[in-house]
A and B are shown apart, each in its own frame.
Chain A
Amino acid sequence: MEKDGKALKKGKVNSLPKLTFKDKEAGSYFIMGFANFADHQIIKGFIFLAAEIAYIAFMIMNGGDLLHGLYTLGTKKQGWVTEPGKLLPVLQSGDNSMLFLLYGIMTLVITGVFIVVYLVNISSARKLLSLRRAGKRPNTFAQDFRSLGDTNFHGAMLTLPMLGILFVIVLPIIFMILIAFTNYDSNHQVPGNLFHWIGFTNFAAILGANKLLSYTFMHVIGWTLVWALIATFSNYFLGIIVALMINYKEIHLKAMWRSILVTTIAIPQFISLLVMQNMFSMYGPINELLVRLGLGRVDFLVNNATNARIVVLIVNLWIGIPYTMLITSGILMNIPSEMYESAKIDGASPVQIFFHITLPYVLFVTAPYLITQFIANLNNFNVIFLLSGGGPTTTDYFQAGKTDLLVTWLYKLTVNNYDYNLASVIGIFSFIICAVTSLIAYHHTASYKREEEFQ
């Protein structure tokens, strides 16, 4: 049944007859659900018909205007009118470009959903045609409904999550991407102003037309990549080493050591990072300690870019090591002890054992985790924003500091400056970097390649 469903399904699709206008089912091309009505699937036919009517009604009543609004992004500006002899001005509402954009995209998404329903309607008609030709009875609604628990389990289980993703994640992302092609910046805030489509101007500005902006962009990207690489691998290796130490067979109270580190996972990051910021401040406890030891005060976060970069990396270790430790200690316990024994008999040193047995094994298992961590570090908002705030500030960058990542820079551009368009361009670039890296990396991991072998 289901195990060879794949082959079966492929065959089915190809074998369905073409709808020609000689068949009554072809009515479904114009009136959705026509074939279902004709072949006694009343409820299903009604659902299709209702969808068509609802969509057409929506497009006539709202949709057309909304699509036009997406094209113009509004034409009427909000303003004030004071009648002669009166003191109190009256607000004349204008168009809200941002909502025009959002609702326009919503209309497009709804149209997309409607097209999917339409195609389903057509294929339903084709299937009914083939059943009629074969002289079989079509499924009743109750049968269809029952199939949800079995042959169409994927349909039942994926619909809701996909709708959630479509409206709460995909639609907002389209919205954000499109803002990159507008002049929605601090000078064009809604509802007082309109903004417009301006094509690739923002991309050009960031890629070179505006020297300061492109200089900042290149340097922030550079630091983001360096940060993500160092942060990911330092966490990873040190985490493994800590796990190895805890798992060392002569060490007692393993659960206690592990729990101590895990404590930090349970504390919300904005709390622990606030504490860290206080500790590393110019006159904070760490500096007091250094002074007492006669080493002198160190400027960790305020003025010295190199120091600040090192500090954020170190604090990131504090955040990240417990996770790696927790994950790898489970794996370490699973390494077959014979592998170690035979290596020892061959006279391998502990370092050799680590690099030739432990690391490859752990790496093999945790490759997907490593990729996720790399991406998470590219977008590591919390550590940078809550610890250094992107500082030290510099006169060389546009609205960014020396430890700013792309993600914190774009946050500043939106929250402090309201330059949504620039932030959006940066978001797109950041997304491209992440997506390309992870797709390539993920498709090279063993767990992806060997997906089918496992089962």
Chain B
Amino acid sequence: MKTANAVSADETEKTAKAAKPAKTSSIRKRRIAGTVVIYIILTIISIIWLIPVVWVVLTSFRAEPGAFTSNFIPEHWTLDNYKSLWANAVFPFKAWFFNTLWVSCISCVISTFLTLSVAYVLSRLRFAFRKPYMNFALILGMFPGFMSMIAVYFILKAVGLTQNLWALIIQYSAGSGLGFYISKGFFDTIPRSLDEAARIDGATNGQVFLHIIMPNSGPIVVYTALMAFMAPWNDYIFANVIMGDNYNKWTVAIGLYQMIQKNNVYKYFTQFNAGCVCVGVPIMVLFFCLQKFYVAGVTGGAVKG
């Protein structure tokens, strides 16, 4: 709300500068009114969007246990939820956090590399099964995954990988050959003349990919990596099937979900929220820093085209 007055004064000045002499003052007034309305709408939207987030943060500092309270602001404040979360004997959150971080980092590196190389190959090279592969990849991701979970579990079991963090890494990286669409769109917009010049100088396809395409694709690399990094923090279902009862190897998603089951929710709800903050904050910071790459990534290079 604070913005309304301060900014509209600022606005008037700006509009005044920008306004051409021909424009009448009524148009100017309308524009100011429009700006104020937009500010009001944006403020309301922001409040709506922030309430759940603020609620999670406030609950994480709440001293009273329990999930269902009518008061938004805690009656008593505490840091104990964080302390007991990180030193918890019942729920080893610390181990879960670093498990997830490890899985995230490794699968992020693997799948970023695989996705980008597939995208490059499909963008630049022409070979027999290229079109079929692209159509195939488009529809393959659309099968509801729940039922194939059990098959994946037994395939991993056959190679002795259940209850192992590598199983999760394989699971999260295996599909990376399918997620090339956005990066391929981006590569398509990098002028071919660049790599042709390099090839005349004798560069191989591999060298073109590493030395010409990659340095020109900052946003898409960041975008792909960011998406791959976030997946393990969100996935509950697959991780649960693969990890089973080995709870020292759990990821935070399974662990947090466990905390809000019927028998645990009263006792652990505030710790659960503290856990959410611990998971959410790093991802949020990453997101803020890399926002512009994300935008460039999702829109592919299409903007330039």
**A interface list, Cβ under 8 A from B:** 1-3, 5-6, 9, 98-99, 102, 106, 148-151, 153-154, 156-158, 160-162, 164-165, 167-173, 175-176, 179, 242, 245-246, 248, 250-253, 257-272, 274-276, 278-279, 285, 288, 318, 322, 326-327, 329-331, 334, 365-366, 368-369, 375, 379, 406-407, 410-411, 414-415, 420, 423-424, 427, 430-431, 434-435, 438-439, 442, 447, 450-451, 454-455
Interface string of B254-283 (1 = CB under 8 A from A): 001100100000000000000010011001
For A156, what are the chain B residues with a Cβ–Cβ distance below 8 Å? 206
A345 CA / B173 CA spacing, docked (Å): 53
Given A161-B176, A164-B177, A250-B11, are A149 and B207 also a contact pair (CB < 8 Å)? yes
A378 CA / B295 CA spacing, docked (Å): 24
Residue B109 at the A interface, CB < 8 A?
no
Given A154-B125, A258-B291, are A263 and B53 also a contact pair (CB < 8 Å)? yes
A442 CA / B279 CA spacing, docked (Å): 36
A267 CA / B256 CA spacing, docked (Å): 13
A160 CA / B284 CA spacing, docked (Å): 32
Interface of B is mostly: helix
Q: How far is the CB of B211 from chain A (nearest CB, A)?
A: 12
Residue B5 at the A interface, CB < 8 A?
no
Q: Is the CB of B288 within 8 A of A259?
A: yes
A2 CA / B46 CA spacing, docked (Å): 53
Q: Is the CB of A253 within 8 A of B3?
A: yes
A447 CA / B138 CA spacing, docked (Å): 14
The 23 listed contacts between A and B (C-beta, < 8 Å) are A98-B154, A99-B154, A106-B155, A153-B209, A157-B117, A164-B114, A165-B174, A168-B152, A171-B151, A179-B147, A250-B11, A252-B3, A253-B3, A260-B49, A264-B53, A270-B236, A271-B56, A272-B53, A318-B48, A368-B300, A415-B146, A424-B147, A447-B302
Residue B233 at the A interface, CB < 8 A?
yes
A423 CA / B150 CA spacing, docked (Å): 13
Q: Is the CB of B155 within 8 A of A160?
A: no
For A423, what are the chain B residues with a Cβ–Cβ distance below 8 Å? 146-147
For A414, what are the chain B residues with a Cβ–Cβ distance below 8 Å? 146-147
Given A151-B205, A326-B295, are A248 and B127 also a contact pair (CB < 8 Å)? no
Q: How far is the CB of B200 from chain A (nearest CB, A)?
A: 10
Q: Is the CB of B199 within 8 A of A251?
A: no
Q: Is the CB of A150 within 8 A of B205?
A: yes
For A411, what are the chain B residues with a Cβ–Cβ distance below 8 Å? 146
A151 CA / B46 CA spacing, docked (Å): 53
Residue B31 at the A interface, CB < 8 A?
yes
A221 CA / B209 CA spacing, docked (Å): 45
A150 CA / B288 CA spacing, docked (Å): 38
A201 CA / B233 CA spacing, docked (Å): 40
Residue B15 at the A interface, CB < 8 A?
yes
Residue B217 at the A interface, CB < 8 A?
no
Q: How far is the CB of B297 from chain A (nearest CB, A)?
A: 9
Q: Is the CB of A149 within 8 A of B204?
A: yes
Residue B120 at the A interface, CB < 8 A?
yes
B138 interface neighbour in A420, A442, A451, Cβ under 8 Å: A442
Q: Is the CB of B38 within 8 A of A170?
A: no
Q: Is the CB of A158 within 8 A of B204?
A: no
A270 CA / B300 CA spacing, docked (Å): 28
For B256, what are the chain A residues with a Cβ–Cβ distance below 8 Å? 268, 270-271
Residue B135 at the A interface, CB < 8 A?
yes
Q: Is the CB of B46 within 8 A of A257?
A: yes
Given A264-B53, A268-B253, are A330 and B296 also a contact pair (CB < 8 Å)? yes
A265 CA / B234 CA spacing, docked (Å): 11
Q: Is the CB of A434 within 8 A of B139?
A: yes
A150 CA / B236 CA spacing, docked (Å): 41
Interface of A is mostly: helix
Q: How far is the CB of A374 from chain B (nearest CB, A)?
A: 11
A435 CA / B144 CA spacing, docked (Å): 12
A329 interface neighbour in B128, B154, B295, Cβ under 8 Å: B295
Q: Is the CB of A154 within 8 A of B127?
A: yes
Q: How far is the CB of A124 from chain B (nearest CB, A)?
A: 16
Q: How far is the CB of B32 from chain A (nearest CB, A)?
A: 8
Residue B24 at the A interface, CB < 8 A?
no
Q: Is the CB of B171 within 8 A of A168?
A: yes
Interface centre among B42, B45, B144, B279 (most CB of A within 10 A): B144
A176 CA / B140 CA spacing, docked (Å): 13
A423 CA / B146 CA spacing, docked (Å): 10
A439 interface neighbour in B117, B138, B149, B296, Cβ under 8 Å: B138
Given A158-B177, A167-B155, are A242 and B280 also a contact pair (CB < 8 Å)? no
B151 interface neighbour in A172, A369, A379, Cβ under 8 Å: A172
A366 CA / B147 CA spacing, docked (Å): 32
In the complex, the chain B residue whose C-beta lies closest to that of A375 is B142
A402 CA / B193 CA spacing, docked (Å): 56
Please provide the 3 A-B residue pairs with the shortest distance between their CB atoms, ordered closest to farther. A161-B177, A172-B148, A168-B174
Q: Is the CB of B139 within 8 A of A435?
A: yes
In the complex, the chain A residue whose C-beta lies closest to that of B156 is A168
A128 CA / B299 CA spacing, docked (Å): 47
A411 CA / B284 CA spacing, docked (Å): 30
A272 interface neighbour in B52, B143, B191, Cβ under 8 Å: B52
Q: Is the CB of A3 within 8 A of B196?
A: yes
Q: Is the CB of B204 within 8 A of A150?
A: yes
In the complex, the chain A residue whose C-beta lies closest to that of B148 is A172
Residue B35 at the A interface, CB < 8 A?
yes
Q: Is the CB of A168 within 8 A of B178?
A: no
Interface string of B118-131 (1 = CB under 8 A from A): 10110001111000
A248 CA / B126 CA spacing, docked (Å): 44
Interface string of B27-45 (1 = CB under 8 A from A): 0000100010011011001
Q: Is the CB of A173 within 8 A of B146?
A: no
Q: Is the CB of A250 within 8 A of B206?
A: no
Q: Is the CB of B45 within 8 A of A242?
A: yes
Interface string of B160-201 (1 = CB under 8 A from A): 000000000011011111100100010011011000100100
